[in-house]
Amino acid sequence: PRPIRLSQYRKPAHRVDRVDLTFRLHPSRTRVLARIAFRPDPEGPGGPLRLDGEGLRLIEAAIDGTPVTPLIDPAGLSVEAPDRPFLWEAEVEIDPAANTALEGLYMSNGMYCTQCEAEGFRKITYYPDRPDVMAPFDVRIESDLPVLLSNGNPGRAGKGFAEWSDPWPKPAYLFALVAGDLIAHSDRFTTAEGREVALNIWVRPGDEDRCAYAMDALKRSMAWDERVYGRAYDLDVFNIVAVDDFNMGAMENKGLNIFNARYVLASPQTATDADYARIEAIIAHEYFHNWTGNRITCRDWFQLCLKEGLTVYRDQQFSGDERGHAVKRIEDVQMLRARQFREDAGPLAHPVRPESYVEINNFYTATVYEKGAEVIGMLRRIVCEDGWRAGLDLYFDRHDGQACTIEDWLAVFADATGRDLSQFALWYSQAGTPRVTLSSRIEDGTLVVDLRQDVPATPGQPEKLPHAIPVALGAVARDGTEALATQHIVLTRPHETHRFAIGTGDAVVSALRGFSAPVVLDQPLSNPDRALLLAHDTDPFNRWESGRELARDALLRMVRDGAAPDPAYLDALGPVLADDTIEPAFRAMVLALPGDDDLARSLAEGGTVPDPDAIDAARRALALAVARRHEDRLAHLFDSLAEPGPYSPEAGPAGRRALRGAALSRLSRIDGGARARALVESADNMTDRLAALTALVAIGQADDALAAFYDDWKSDRLVLDKWFSVQVAAAPGDSGAQAAARLTAHPDFHWRTPNRFRAVIGALGANHASFHAADGTGYDLVADWLIRLDPLNPQTAARMSTLFDSWRRYDAGRQELMRAALTRIAGKTDLSRDTSEMVGRMLA
C-alpha cells in the first residue's frame, strides 16, 4: 500500500451535521442503522460522497429516502450525492464475535466493546472516518444485556434498549459503545461550574471491590484539571469500563472511557505500587483528554502529538503534584531513554509529527507520546510561566470545538508572547536525539561554558538544522555548596559560549538540570566530580543522574575491559543509603543499576559491539558487589522499612516499599534467598510478594514459590499475568528464552488476549540476555508467535515486532539471526499492513 502523506492533506468534501445510530446487537450478526445528515463543504474538493468502510455488509442505502446503489470497494464506497444538505441512511451487518483484531465492535467475555481510534469506526458503519469531521451523535442500542452504554448523556431506556445523546461534536474515533452484564462502582463529583456529574466504573461481577482507587484517582484528576487549567467536565455522566481484551492501555471516548482492566482494577492483594501509580496516571491521562483531544482534537493523524504529547505532559504534571516531582521526573526520563531514545537511534526513528505513514496505528509511539511531552515541557521553559498560562488560555479559547494542527498550537504561544517560535517548531519535524557537548572552565571568577549541538541523521533526514534547546545549569563547589544557582539558557546555534560570574575558583557544572531537554548530554566529568554531584547537587534529577553515570562507567569498564566492580562507586553509594533524610523512593532509584538494553546502547554509541551475556554478567557482579559492600546497611534498611499497619498505595509507603524491595534484591544475592522466601509467604500485599518472587527468580530459587503463587492466583487473570511475566522477565542469564518457550505451552497461555501475550512475549523482549540468547531461540520464539498472532491481531503483532528494532547493534551472528527472523516474518503470505510496514522499515 502507498503511504499517506501530511503534504497531501485535503479538506473533506462533506461535513456531518448530525449522526443517528441504531445498534441491534447480535454476536455474529449485529445490524447498524445509520442516519447521517451531510452537507457539502464549500471549501472542500467537491465530488461524489465518499465514505470509509471495511468489512461491512451493506444491506441497503438511501439518500433523502431514495434507495441508492453505491460503488463498493475494499476501503469504502462512493455514490453520487446532491449538491446541498442531504440525509444518508444505511443499514449494515457486522460480526463482532469474529473480530479478533479488537478494533471496531468486538466481543470480550460476552461483553460488546468498541475501539475506534484511529480508524476503527469504519468497521462499524460507512462514514467519513477522519478526525476533522465532527458531529453530535445520538445512539440507540437494542440488546437484552443489562447494561447498554454509549457516549454523552443518557436518554430514554427500557426493556431491551437504551438511548444516548452526545451534544458535543466529535470525530468518529471518539465513538464508543459497551453492552454487557456489568456492575458499577459509583460516585459523584460536583464541578466548579456547579454541574453534578454521576461517575461510574463498570466492571465484571466480582471485580467491583477493586475499583475504589481508580475512582479516587478520577475525582482527583477532575479537581486538578479545574484547579490547574481551569477545565471543568462537560456532561452529566462520566463512565469508565474495564475490559479484558484490549490492545493498549485505555481510550478517551467522549464520556465513556474504555480501559484495559489492568489499568483500572486494584486491591492491595492483587496490585503492586507500580500498578497503582499507572492506574492513577492513565485514569488522569484519559480524563485530561476530554479537553486536550476531545474538545480540541486533531485535524489529521499526523497531528497526533497535538493531543498525545500535551496530554502525557499533563498527566506527568498531575502525578508529580500528587506524588512528588523529583522521583516522577526520574521515572519519566528513564522511560523516555529506554523507549524513545532507542526508537530515535534506530530504523524506526521518526519526527514527533511524522510526515508519512502506511498504517497510523504504528505511530502511537514513544516519540509521539513521550518526546511529544518533552517538547511541551521545553516550550513551557522557553515561554516562561506567564507565557505558558496565556498561551493555553488562548488555545482553549480560540480552538474549542475545532480539529487543529501543530501550527495552531504554536501560533497561540507566538501570539500570546510575541515570540518567534519558528526554530522551536523544528522539534516537531526533525527526528533524532540531539547530542549536546559541554565543556567548562573557570577564569577569574567567571564560569565559561562551551556548548555544541549535533543532531544525528535519521532515516530520510540526512541533514539537520540546529534546535532551540533549553539548558538549565548550575554549579556545585568542591565543598558541596551551590556555587551557581540554576541558570536558564536556550542554545540556538551550533556552538555557543556562556559566561557566569561565580564565587569560587573550582566548581563542577551541573548541566541539563531537571533534564531540561530530551538530548544526550556529553560532559566529560571525572568520577570524583560525579560523586560530588551525587552527594551535594541541589537538583534531584542530576543527583540521581550522577549516581547513574558512576554505575554506568563502572559497568562499561567491567564489560569492555573485564574490570572489577569500582570501589569508588561502591563507596559513593554508602552515604546515600545511610541518609534517612533522603526520600526512600529516591534512594531506591539511586540503588538501581542501568538496564542491560541501556548499557547495550551506551556500548554501541561508543563503538563497541554489545555482548548481551557479558552485560548481564557485569550487572549481576556489580549487584553482588553492592550487596557485599553494604550488607549491613541493606539489612538495616530491609528490617527497618517494614511497614506497620495496613497497606496504603500512597507515595510515602510505596517509596519505603521500593527501597526495601531494592535492598532485598541485593541481599538475595548473598543470603541464598532466605529473606525473599520468608517475605513471599508473609507478605500481605502484592508489591512485597512480587518483589520477593522477582528476587527469587533472579537467583534461580523460585520453583516452590512460583508453584505456590500459581495455586493462590490461578483464577485471577491479572495476577496470573504477573506470574507468567516474572518468570521470563527476571530469569537469569539467557534462561528466560526457555522459560518463555515452556510458558507458551502452558494451558493458561491465552495468547489471543493481548495482556497474556505481552506477559510472556513482551517479558522476553524485556529480558535482554534472554531475548538475545546466542543460539537464536529467543528471536525464533518471538518470530513464531508474531507470525501466529498477526492474522488475528495485527496491531499487537506490529507493536511487538519493535523488539527487533536495534538488531544492527549486535555481533554478526546475532544480526544474521535477527535478520533471518525479520525476513521470515516479512515473507509470510497475507502479512498485515501493520506488521509489514514495521518489518519493512526495520529491514530497510
Q: How far is the CB of 115 from ligand B3K (least distance, A)?
A: 7
Q: How far is the CB of 258 from ligand B3K (least distance, A)?
A: 10
Establish if 117 lies at the interface with ligand B3K (CB under 6 A): yes
Of the two residues 340 and 516, which places its CB atom closer to Zn ion in the complex?
340
List strand residue ranges (DSSP E) for 3-63, in order.
Answer: 4-5, 14-24, 30-40, 49-52, 57-63
Distance CA 66, CA 723 (A): 59
Binding mask 357-386 for ligand B3K (x = CB under 6 A): ----x--x----------------------
Distance CA 837, CA 833 (A): 6
Longest alpha-carbon distance in the chain: 88
Q: How far is the CB of 277 from ligand B3K (least distance, A)?
A: 17
Kind plus residue range of the DSSP H or E element containing 136? strand 135-142
CB 323 within 8 A of CB 651: yes
Q: Which of 32, 56, 79, 118 binds ligand B3K (CB under 6 A)?
A: 118
Strand partners, 531: none
Could you tell which of Zn ion, ligand B3K, none binds residue 118, using a CB distance below 5 to 8 A set by kind?
ligand B3K
Of the two residues 239 and 727, which places its CB atom closer to ligand B3K in the complex?
239
Cα angle for residues 220, 223, 224 (degrees, 5° grid): 80
Distance CA 38, CA 540 (A): 56
User: Which part of the chain contacts ligand B3K (CB under 6 A), choosing from 281-289, 584-592, 737-745, 776-784?
Assistant: 281-289
By C-alpha distance, which of 150, 231, 218, 211 is closest to 189? 218
Distance CA 669, CA 675 (A): 11
CB proximity list for 411: less than 8 A, separation 6 or greater: none
286 is catalytic: yes
Q: How many CA atoms lie within 13 A of 694 on its CB side?
A: 20
Q: How far is the CB of 172 from ligand B3K (least distance, A)?
A: 13
Q: What is the DSSP letter of 593?
A: P
Q: Which of 286, 374, 549, 837 is catalytic?
A: 286
Q: How far is the CB of 802 from ligand B3K (least distance, A)?
A: 14
User: Which part of the chain contacts ligand B3K (CB under 6 A), choosing from 177-185, 204-212, 243-251, 753-761?
Assistant: 243-251
Establish if 89 lies at the interface with ligand B3K (CB under 6 A): no
Q: Which of 214, 248, 266, 431 binds ligand B3K (CB under 6 A)?
A: 248
Binding mask 292-331 for ligand B3K (x = CB under 6 A): ----------------x-----------------------
What SS3 class is residue 227?
A: helix
Of the two residues 257 and 744, which places its CB atom closer to ligand B3K in the complex?
257
Question: Binding residues for Zn ion, per CB under 5 A?
Answer: 308, 311
Of the two residues 103 and 553, which places its CB atom closer to ligand B3K in the complex?
103
Q: How far is the CB of 261 from Zn ion (least distance, A)?
A: 18
What SS3 class is residue 292?
A: strand
Give the 3-state secondary structure percentages of the chain, helix then strand then coil, rounded to 5.
Answer: 45, 20, 35
Establish if 207 lies at the interface with ligand B3K (CB under 6 A): no
Q: What is the DSSP letter of 247?
A: S
Binding mask 23-62 for ligand B3K (x = CB under 6 A): ----------------------------------------
Determine how β-strand 435-443 pairs with β-strand 520-522.
parallel
Of the two residues 168 and 500, which places its CB atom closer to ligand B3K in the complex?
168
Instruction: Assess whether the previous peptide bond of 572 is cis (omega < 30° from 0).
Output: no
CB 213 within 8 A of CB 151: no
Of the two residues 120 and 154, which places its CB atom closer to ligand B3K in the complex?
120
Could you tell which of ligand B3K, Zn ion, none binds residue 790, using a CB distance below 5 to 8 A set by kind?
none
Q: How far is the CB of 316 from Zn ion (least distance, A)?
A: 12
Of the two residues 103 and 344, which places its CB atom closer to ligand B3K in the complex?
103
List strand residue ranges (DSSP E) for 420-515, in order.
Answer: 435-443, 446-454, 469-477, 482-491, 495-501, 507-510
Phi, psi of 499 (to 5 degrees): -120, 140
Distances (CA, A) of 670 to 384, 501, 594, 657, 705: 51, 50, 21, 20, 19
Of the two residues 175 and 807, which places its CB atom closer to ligand B3K in the complex?
175
User: Which part of the chain contacts ligand B3K (CB under 6 A), choosing from 282-290, 450-458, 592-600, 711-719?
Assistant: 282-290
- Just list the catalytic residues: 286
Residues that bind ligand B3K (CB under 6 A): 117-118, 248, 250-252, 285-286, 289, 308, 361, 364
